[in-house]
Amino acid sequence: MENKTEVIVIGAGPSGVSAAIVLARAGKKVLLIERADNAGDKNMFGGEIYTKQTLEIFPNFIKEAPIERPLTEQGFFLINNEDSVKFSYKISPEKEADSYSVIRSKWDRWCVQEAQKAGVIFAPKTLVKELIVENDKVIGIQTELEKYYSDIVIIADGVNSLLAKQIGLRKEISDCDVTVNVKEVYKLNKEKIEDRFNIDEKSGYAAKILGGPLKNMFSIGFMFTNKETLTLGVGISLDDLKRLEKKPYELLEEIKKHPSVSNYIKGAEVIEYSSHMIPEGGYNKMPKLYKAGVMVVGDAAMLVNNVHFEGTNLAMLSGKIAAEVATEALNSGDYSEKFLALYDKKLRESIVIKDLITHKDTVSFLKKHIKTITELYPEIACEMFKVVTSASNEPKKIIYRRFFMKLIKSGVIFKSIPLGLFAIRKCLEK
Amino acid sequence: MNINEKLSTLKYNKDKDSHLSVDNNICRKCIKKVCTYICPANVYEWNDNSSSLIIRYENCLECGACKIACEKNNIQWRYPSAGCGVKFKNG
């Protein structure tokens, strides 16, 4: 048959390219399809790739890939109306960083070049209109121009996955299962970045921002240092945007103006604005992952650990596991649903689904307590530091008493009990 | 920085046809018109005079939020043609 290969991978993001390169290294014929002119053109993220899982796919990435900075310091900003409490975890400069900031247009392109070196055929500027299904088995793809056939198709088309939906693996996504993320990238010279974040050329800073303009919604702000740019963005649950009738880019503007953030980006030119959704449905909303002739990986399969902000690593791992199962299937000539169930099984044995199961009820739990987390905690934290640091003319005892009364009145202790119990349950449950 | 200034930082390759469409008869009955505020690219605007939705599809960032958010399930959403639409350089 013409236009026939062993595996077609749809989407050249982290999950797709990982699947493709692992298959090619196993000697399989792979066609990697991307709708954009170049890999990475359509991609945006809240910015880090994870060392451990990336090394499994690209052992040479630290030396050879276009990485920006090792993220040696992770900060957390709890912001109140005008004040804030900031803290950060900084690793020793001798240690390998757990993650790196990258710019997707450069990073994704490099990954695809590595895949091509391993033998993957890359077809950019190709839009898959639909999957070709015969006798309930996926046998190929229909692009805008022609049909291609393969023994196995791997769907890696991202959060909106129209293809997983087409073949009934997933239903419509609902507004509580995604966050809308908007970010800006700022041009700032290297020295200024390093001065502002107290880092050197071999280190980098990332921050998560909680509260302030984002209070009372399931949301987070994020900031990343690149080599000569800074990234600042916000992600907000779509149901909260609807409920509060907020525009995502206006929330970004509010974060930018907050005194805890504004000086980092001062005088820096915005060189790009962008937006993307993150799947947040977790285990309960994970689609069926396979069917005869087909497997789903990465964001298309909702494989995101939103509690720890992990996504690209789970995408890469799922791509790798799907590729390993596809290799076995090709070797045995069996592409049936029964055989490909092995992908589901292996994914469940890996951290991908184990972690999703651990947090299957965490998002809905956090949403119930969102006011405490995003409004009360930043407020109390600021209040506490104010008590410790401000030298006023009032006697300390009165200040302590006022703070104590605030703790009681705000109910912060009482409201923290369920959060504490939830954390304990997560540690103990099987 | 307003949304038009934000969008002016982006590179697009405009598709000749819109990849987004709605049935205005359904939009007329919609009270909240969620699409007019949740869209990160401000693609949708309600025009009272023509009683229809203005869709600036050429500004779309292809995030997919509108399709999910629409309470009437009335947004036909697909990807722009291959190679068309937004092109992020610093994503």
| A228-262 tens-digit pLDDT | 999 999 999 999 999 999 999 999 999 999 999 99
A182: chain B residues, CB-CB within 8 Å: 40
A245/B87 Cβ within 8 A: no
Structural domain includes residue B48:
yes
Structural domain includes residue B62:
yes
Structural domain includes residue B25:
yes
Task: Judge whether B31 is closer than 8 Å to chain A, CB to CB.
Answer: no
| A99-113 tens-digit pLDDT | 999 999 999 999 999
Burial A183-200 (b: 16+ CB within 10 A, else e): bbbbebeeeebbebbebe
Task: Judge whether B54 is closer than 8 Å to chain A, CB to CB.
Answer: no
**What's the mean pLDDT when you consider all of chain B?**
97
Structural domain includes residue B27:
yes
| Domain count for chain B | 1
Count of other CB atoms within 10 angstroms of residue A6: 17
A280: chain B residues, CB-CB within 8 Å: none
Kindly tell me if the per-residue pLDDT of A220 is higher than 90: yes
DSSP A125-164: S--EEEEEEETTEEEEEEESS-EEEEEEEEE---TT-HHH
A272/B89 Cβ within 8 A: yes
Kindly tell me if the per-residue pLDDT of B85 is higher than 80: yes
pLDDT at res. A213: 96
Q: How far is CA A221 from CA A98, A163, A181, A211, A414, in A?
A: 20, 31, 9, 9, 27
Pairs across A and B, CB distance < 8 A: 125
Kindly tell me if the per-residue pLDDT of A429 is higher than 90: no
B10: chain A residues, CB-CB within 8 Å: 272-274
B90/A105 Cβ within 8 A: yes
pLDDT at res. A305: 95
* Portion of chain A with pLDDT greater than 90, in percent: 97
A253: chain B residues, CB-CB within 8 Å: 1
A180: chain B residues, CB-CB within 8 Å: 38, 40, 63, 65
Q: How far is CA A342 from CA A136, A299, A317, A345, A348, in A?
A: 19, 20, 15, 5, 10
**Best residue in A45, A143, A222, A249 for a mutation probing chain B (most B CBs within 10 Å):** A249
Cβ(A297)–Cβ(A15) below 8 Å: yes
Structure tokens at A314: 């789970």
B15: chain A residues, CB-CB within 8 Å: none
Nearest-Cα distance to chain A for B49, in Å, is: 23
pLDDT at res. A315: 98
Structural domain includes residue B52:
yes
B88/A44 Cβ within 8 A: yes
Residue A181: partners with Cβ closer than 8 Å, 6 or more residues away? A44, A46, A233, A234, A235, A236, A248, A275, A276, A277, A278
In this prediction, residue A430 has a pLDDT band, given cuts at 50, 70 and 90, of confident
Q: Which of residues 78-107 of A touch B (CB under 8 A)?
A: 103-105
**What's the mean pLDDT when you consider all of chain A?**
96
For chain A, what is the largest distance between any 2 Cα atoms, rounded to a whole number of angstroms?
88
Who has greater pLDDT, A169 or A306? A169
Task: Judge whether B37 is closer than 8 Å to chain A, CB to CB.
Answer: yes
Kindly tell me if the per-residue pLDDT of A390 is higher than 90: no
In this prediction, residue A1 has a pLDDT band, given cuts at 50, 70 and 90, of low
The amino acid present at A428, given as its one-letter code, is: L
A42/B88 Cβ within 8 A: yes
Structural domain includes residue B70:
yes
Task: For residues A186 and A179, give the distance between their C-alpha atoms in angstroms, rounded to a whole number.
Answer: 23
Q: CA-based angle A331:A334:A338, to the nearest 5?
A: 130
What is the residue whose two structure tokens read 């963005």?
A: A233
**Best residue in A180, A255, A257 for a mutation probing chain B (most B CBs within 10 Å):** A180
Phi, psi of B78, deg, nearest 5: -140, 175
B83/A35 Cβ within 8 A: yes
Task: Judge whether A166 is closer than 8 Å to chain B, CB to CB.
Answer: no
Structural domain includes residue B68:
yes
Task: Judge whether A14 is closer than 8 Å to chain B, CB to CB.
Answer: no
Mean pLDDT, residues A260-282 = 97
B9/A180 Cβ within 8 A: no
A180/B65 Cβ within 8 A: yes
Task: Judge whether A20 is closer than 8 Å to chain B, CB to CB.
Answer: no
Kindly tell me if the per-residue pLDDT of B10 is higher than 90: yes
pLDDT at res. A94: 86
- Partners of B85 in beta bridges: B13
B41: chain A residues, CB-CB within 8 Å: 275
Give the residue on A whose Cα is nearest the Cα of B61.
A275
Phi, psi of A25, deg, nearest 5: -65, -25
Task: Judge whether A40 is closer than 8 Å to chain B, CB to CB.
Answer: yes
Full domain range(s) for residue B48: 18-80
Mean pLDDT, residues A1-10 = 91
B63: chain A residues, CB-CB within 8 Å: 180, 275-277
Q: Any idea what the CATH number is for the domain that residue B37 is in?
A: 3.30.70.20
Give the residue on B whose Cα is nearest the Cα of A248.
B40
Task: Judge whether A344 is closer than 8 Å to chain B, CB to CB.
Answer: no
**Best residue in A163, A174, A230, A275 for a mutation probing chain B (most B CBs within 10 Å):** A275
B79/A105 Cβ within 8 A: no
- Partners of A149 in beta bridges: A4, A140
Structural domain includes residue B43:
yes
